[in-house]
Structure 1
Amino acid sequence: MTASPDKFPPIPAHPLYEPVSSETVFQQRFALQKVRFRYRRFDGALSGELTWELWRRGRGVTILPYDPWSDRVALIEQFRLPALAAGLDPVLIECPAGLLEPREDSEVAAIRETQEETGLAPDLLAPIGNFMIMQGGCDEIVHFHAARVRLPEPGVGESLGLVSENENTRLLVAEAEQAFAWVAENRIKNAPTAMCLLWLQVHRERLRREWTV
């Protein structure tokens, strides 16, 4: 099999990492890389040789649209095949999210993804943090942002999403307290969404002061 050129950056050199070999075993939208390596243990010795499959997804962004005037959040519902494979309801409640283009700023991507998936136009962003979601087998780092928006009535909006990607999302507007309750009840099955809402629970009063001036 002739491999196509890699579309992801090489694993950087590091004092704790000793590479043995690497090959791209699958590559379409994302690549699956098979890496053989050793690493420096905490006692200073080298580990035995390991073989890991590494899913190369790159950088992502997730956004929590928040209306500080009405104290409501905008979430989306969409069909997720992996959720069905895991035995869950395949329609998940999530924050808008997406992947960054090469060298794209996360704030630019945050505004774009919010508009595509909710139809809303953020006019202000607040960084939440950068996190790995599947560090046991994927290199994706996700940039989390809160976004100031003006939310419509009623609570459930029209179907949206990027037609070219067969994406179909539905806007779900909820009171902040209701969304916090969904996290507490484990109704939110998507980890980034739960993290964003827990962050908002801590910072909500500050945002309401700063974003309504």
Structure 2
Amino acid sequence: MTKPFQFKASDVKVEKREIVFQGFFRMDKLCLTHPRFDGRNMPQFTRELFIRGDATCVLPYDPERDEVVLLEQFRLGALGRDQSPWLLELVAGMNEEGESSEEVAQREAEEEAGLSFSKLEKICDYLVSPGGTTEMVYLYCGKVSTESAGGLFGLEEESEDIRAHVVSADEAIAMISDGRINNAAAIIAIQWLQINRARLRAGW
């Protein structure tokens, strides 16, 4: 059996690339071809690509109180589904040029939840939806105290309206099981916490 990853980025031939939309985000149109697994070349095809910057997401966790902080806010992409478009999510923000993921984490924790992380542990990096967008998420768990956490946050100039909720780790896990939490970053982070919870409570 052939092992995975026999091809590289250099095997992709982009014949044409144009910007078809430039606003808060960007959309490009590409004409390209690449080799196939059977040895032939893929006929030239066209795809649109959503050019979106990378982001950092963090699950705030208090190991002493065994609680997490989840942020509730409106998300346009959830409108029209059979659910509320107000989602429970992690602390998150777009990575600015020259800014490390750890710096983004601290900045967004203050802006979105009034928190400061005393420790950050990397969970993983993952491509959000590589069939159509360039976005990579850098995912962390951050140590906080939830003793006085919670409340209303967000930047008016960025049209943010955020309510920070403090919930037990058990309740957060239950929210995944019953579908109240259904966004990828939160699901991955909370399930990671479920696996690593005892270690964090002992070590943090």
* Residue 56 (str. 1) matches residue 60 (str. 2): no
Which letter does structure 1 place at the counterpart of 2:200?
L
- The 10-residue stretch of structure 1 (40-49 or 168-177) with the greater mean CA deviation from structure 2: 40-49
Q: Does 1:189 align with 2:178?
A: no
Q: CA deviation at 1:164?
A: 1.2
Identity, in percent, stands at: 38
Q: Normalization by structure 1: what TM-score?
A: 0.89
Equivalences for 1:150-165 in 2 at 5 Å? 150-152=145-147, 157-165=150-158
Structure 2 letter corresponding to 1:115: E
Which digits, 9 at most, give the CA deviation of each residue in 1:92-129, with x for residues without a partner?
11111110001311011011111111111111100001
Distance 1:104 1:88 in 2: 35
1:143-201 residue CA offsets vs partner (Å, 9 max, x unmatched): 001000000358xx321011210101001111001100111111102111111000100
What's 2:198 paired with?
205
Given the alignment of the two structures, is residue 42 of structure 1 paired with residue 31 of structure 2, yes or no? no
Q: CA deviation at 1:73?
A: 0.4
Write the distance in 1 (CA, Å) between the matches of 2:28 and 2:80: 23
Is contact 2:151–2:165 with CA below 8 Å preserved after alignment?
no
SS of alignment partner, residue 27 of structure 2: strand
Q: 1:4 maps to what in 2?
A: none
Q: Which segment drifts farther, 37-46 or 17-26?
A: 37-46
Q: Do 2:118 and 2:142's aligned partners in 1 also have CA atoms closer than 8 Å?
A: yes
Q: Aligned equivalents of 1:160 and 1:153: distance in 2? A: 14
Which residue number in structure 1 is paired with residue 168 of structure 2? 175
Which residue identity lines up with residue 104 of structure 1 in the other structure? E
Of 59, 67, 70, the residue aligned with 1:75 is 70
CA shift, 1:16, in A, is 2.4
Q: How big is the shift at 1:77?
A: 0.3
Structure 2 length as normaliser, TM-score? 0.92
Unaligned runs of 5+ in 1: 1-12
Amino acid at match of 2:91: P
Q: Which runs of 4+ in 1 moved over 4 A?
A: none
CA distance in 1, matches of 2:49, 2:98: 21
CA contact 2:59–2:140 (8 Å) conserved in 1: yes
Instruction: For structure 2, list consecutive stretches of 5 or more residues without a partner in the other structure.
Output: 1-7
In the alignment, the residues of structure 1 paired with residue 71 and residue 186 of structure 2 have an alpha-carbon distance, to the nearest angstrom, of 10
- Give the aligned length: 197
Whole-Å separation in 2 of the counterparts to 1:151 and 1:140: 30
Q: Could you tell me which amino acid in structure 2 is paired with residue 65 of structure 1? A: P
Q: Which secondary structure does the structure 2 equivalent of 1:34 belong to?
A: strand
Indicate the residue corresponding to 1:136 in structure 2. 131
Q: What is the match of residue 61 of structure 2?
A: 66
Aligned-residue offset at 1:14: 2.6
Take 1:14 and 1:93, find their aligned partners in 2: how far apart are those partners? Answer: 36
| Secondary structure at 1:180 match in 2 | helix
Matched, 1:27 2:22: yes
Task: Tell me the equivalent position of 1:3.
Answer: none
Q: Shift of the alpha carbon at 1:15?
A: 3.1
Aligned to 1:104: 99
